[in-house]
Chains A and B, each alone.
Chain A
Amino acid sequence: MVAQAIMLGVIAGIGILDGRIFGVLMLERPLVTGLLVGLVLGDVKQGVMIGAQLELIWMGIAGIGASTPPDVVTGGILGTAFAILSNQGAEVALVLAVPIAVLAQSLGVLVRIINGYFLHKADKYAAKADFRGVTLMMWIPPFLFFLSVFIPTFLAIILGAEEVKALVNAVPETILGGLKVAGNLLPAVGFALLLDMLFTKKMGVYFFLGFLGASYLGLNITAIALFGACIAVIVNLLVNNQPKDGQARDVNYNNLTEGEIDFD
């Protein structure tokens, strides 16, 4: 158990560092961490399936901009791990993952506040053209980020696994069934977040084209993406609809980097 707890802690550390020092390669996403948690706990299939469900729910949640989103790394890993350890499915994973992600977020906020200290130290080194000092100040915060998820994950698995197992097994059937329904409903939040970024009155028709293509023609996602790409080329490159100067196109410039979405 200790070895597994350490490995899960390391997975969480890699996940949180993905957005910090690995350039956001998507190693932080539940779809990927689910696979890794499954490998560690010896149930790859279940890990991948739970990861897919959590990915759907958190689809729209991004680690970008100044706003600090719910910590999908700690939430996803602990939710998946506890569900596998107590022989339960995605519905248990998500009901654990959602509150854990919100709680763990506050640690991420704390580290970002502490980083202000290293920033000021870096300013002082910069004033002396001390490149080594600046580099050192740049590399201490990643260790804090690592610890901010490694420690909670490790402790939760070591101390909490039995308790969570008992708690989960005590939950009545009606509630579990309800959680399953909630789990099916929750991806709507992710989709709505994406629509918030992409949807405009003029462009909205493409959403419906994709929806109808899948509903009536039974196309899968790959087919939808390819048709979408063809139509994007036809409309934007082949049809001559160059707007005159000063006439703005109806593209949603409202990018997420400005941190307008309220996560709290």
Chain B
Amino acid sequence: MTREKKVTKKELRQVFWRSFALQGAFNYERMQNLGYAYAMIPVIKKLYDNHDDQVKALNRHLEIFNTTPAVVPTIMGISAALEEQNANDPHFDSSSISAIKASLMGPLAGIGDSLFWGTFRVIAAGIGISLATSGNIFGPILFLLLYNIPHLFLRVVGLKLGYSVGVNSLERIQKEGLMEKIMAMATTVGLFVVGGMVATMLSFKTPLKFNINGAKVVVQDILNQILPNMLPLLVTFAVYWLMKKKVSITKLTLGIIVFGILIHWAKIL
């Protein structure tokens, strides 16, 4: 009877710090795999003494991997728990470690992107930019704080929960529809903020004026009476529509620069 092998706080702390370097060796073939394997090394060293087991474990974590970096500590926590089971139970099916990793990276990337990319970053940037446009240095600072407080919180808690509660709880959460609820809430707030930003941060007014029988008609005033910020709304949806028509971002950007010069020259904007 050999004593039970166990991952301790020390290894988890090492995994936590190493998880930041996830994309350090990003490559097109297997993407974040090298960063993932690097983060798992402390766990592998702790759990396996045998050369063959170490090779197998390293290879498992060198498989293709790609997800939102913010959620990766959660998956690493689960991997650590599974490796621990594998090290202690000779009947454990080690291929399930890879299978679970692969099955988690998709859904968690979805939730990670909508939470961090679509919500926290948008809110943080929106507030940061609104200060920074007047040159206030608290703009960038607030941006970093508002984004990174929830970001680092999820990294710490995710790793702990991933290791202690494991994959079962994630499956339960998914079955109960909690993931979808969180995503729906994140999307709601994200859309609110983007709507607000279109109204407050896209600023252009047309100087167009007409003289009809001596009466001055200011086009911008008429537009404001129909709907304030109507032009920014129309421009945003025009670009969105072009994007849906598969016009590339680079073409859109360059096109807008040329368009801006032309309509300024034509004195429309």
Contacts and interface: CB of A to CB of B under 8 A. Distances in A.
Interface of A: 19-27, 29, 31-32, 34-35, 44-46, 48-49, 51-53, 55-57, 59, 61-62, 64-66, 70, 95, 98, 102, 112-113, 115-116, 118-119, 122-123, 126-129, 131, 134-135, 137-142, 145, 174-175, 177-189, 191-200, 203-204, 206-216, 219-222, 224-225, 227-229, 231-233, 235-237, 242-243, 249, 251-253, 255-257, 261-264
B94 to A, nearest CB: 15
A22 B177 CA distance: 32
A228 B200 contact: no
A94 B250 CA distance: 13
A126 B185 contact: no
B88 interface: no
A236 B144 contact: no
Contacts of B62: 122-123, 126
B201 interface: yes
A212 B198 CA distance: 10
A113 B27 CA distance: 6
A220 B139 CA distance: 14
Interface string B117-136: 11001111111111011111
Range of interface residues on B (Cβ < 8 Å): 35 or more
Contacts of B148: 25-26
Contacts, number: 395
A116 B37 CA distance: 15
Given A20-B23, A204-B191, A215-B229, A251 B135 contact: no
Given A189-B256, A221-B193, A31 B132 contact: yes
Contact of B58 (A49, A126, A183, A242): A126
Interface of B is mostly: helix
B260 interface: yes
Contacts of B125: 29, 31, 55, 59
B51 interface: yes
Given A31-B139, A65-B66, A182-B257, A192 B265 contact: no
Q: Closest 5 A-B residue pairs measured CB to CB?
A: A182-B260, A210-B195, A228-B192, A178-B261, A45-B135
A263 B109 contact: no
Contacts of A253: 110
Interface string B62-98: 1000111110000000000000000000000000000
B220 interface: no
Given A131-B44, A181-B204, 4 more contacts: A46-B135, A116-B27, A184-B202, A221-B123
B235 A185 contact: yes
A208 B195 CA distance: 6
B114 A197 contact: yes
Contacts of A116: 27-29
B13 to A, nearest CB: 15
Contact of A262 (B41, B44, B249): B249
Nearest to B148: A25
A198 B180 contact: no
